[in-house]
Amino acid sequence: MMKKIDFKCFSLAVIIILFNNCATTGYKKMSIEDPETLLSIQDSLLIERPSNQIIIDALVNAHINVAEKYINKGDNASAAEHFKSASELNSFNNVSKYGLLISEGRLLVGKGNKNGIWDAIEKFSKASTLYPGNGEPFYLMAISYTKLGDTDFDLILESYEKALALELNDKQRAEAEKKYEKAKERKKKLETFWK
């Protein structure tokens, strides 16, 4: 004997499934196109669906996209907050871990405190292990060593050489090449001065 299908309940179930699939796809799209709006409803989403991985991934992506906007504006403090939020949502996300280390390191270098600069160098070093082909952490280390005292040429030059041997965006590469040459000239002048 066949059971009678309740098409009203069946139709409602199909509509709910389709709505949920569209909504989760919409969150991913929203994390790219309008991440601030998605983040404004983060608490509600996490209360309603605390373990929905698609929503969590969309929120992580939204935090990263907002953090990158702040980096482009030179606001490392706000960027660090968003990278930290992304890392709290997904502790395995290397993009957020990398961004947090770089942003926090830049903040420390900006303060100019010697101990803080050493802490920044440590953060840049950790960041370099997350993406070994990326030269940015070494470029930032070279800048940090220069701020500590621009006479420790071995560390400065070695950091610039590592950075230039790896991937850098065009702006960083041009700056690194220029600063590398300047550091080599200063080293040469200092060596000839003492002879």
57 domain-assigned = yes
Per-residue pLDDT, 2: 46
Number of alpha carbons in the 13 Å side-chain half-sphere of residue 99 = 31
- Label residue 11 by pLDDT band (50, 70, 90): very low
Average pLDDT on 54-70 reads 97
Residues 88 and 121 in one domain: no
Task: Say if residue 137 is in the same domain as residue 78.
Answer: no
Q: Give the chain's domain count.
A: 2
Q: Is residue 112 assigned to a domain?
A: no
- Summarize pLDDT for 113-131 with one digit per residue, the tens: 999 999 999 999 999 999 9
Structure confidence at residue 21 as a pLDDT band (50, 70, 90): very low
- Where does a domain end: 51, 75, 92? 92
Query: Residue 18 pLDDT more than 60?
Result: no
The count of other CB atoms within 10 Å of the CB of residue 38 is: 25
Same domain, 57 and 130: no
- Separation CA 118–CA 144 (nearest Å): 8
Residues listed for the chain: 195
57 lies in which domain range?
21-92
* pLDDT tens digit sequence for 159-185: 999 999 999 999 999 999 999 999 999
Whether 35 maps to a domain, the answer reads yes
What is the structure's pLDDT at 10? 41
What pLDDT is recorded for position 195?
Answer: 60
Q: Are residues 126 and 171 in the same domain?
A: yes
**195 and 134, same domain (yes or no):** yes
25 and 82 fall within a common domain: yes
CATH number of the domain encompassing residue 180:
1.25.40.10
Given a cut of 70, whether residue 194 has pLDDT beyond it is no
CA–CA gap between residue 162 and residue 170 (Å, rounded): 16
Do 133 and 82 share a domain, yes or no?
no
pLDDT at 23: 54
pLDDT at residue 134 in the model: 98
- Contact in structure between 99 and 79 (CB atoms under 8 Å): yes
Same domain, 134 and 84: no
Statement to judge: residues 83 and 128 lie in one domain: no
pTM: 0.84
For residue 108, being part of any structural domain is answered with: no
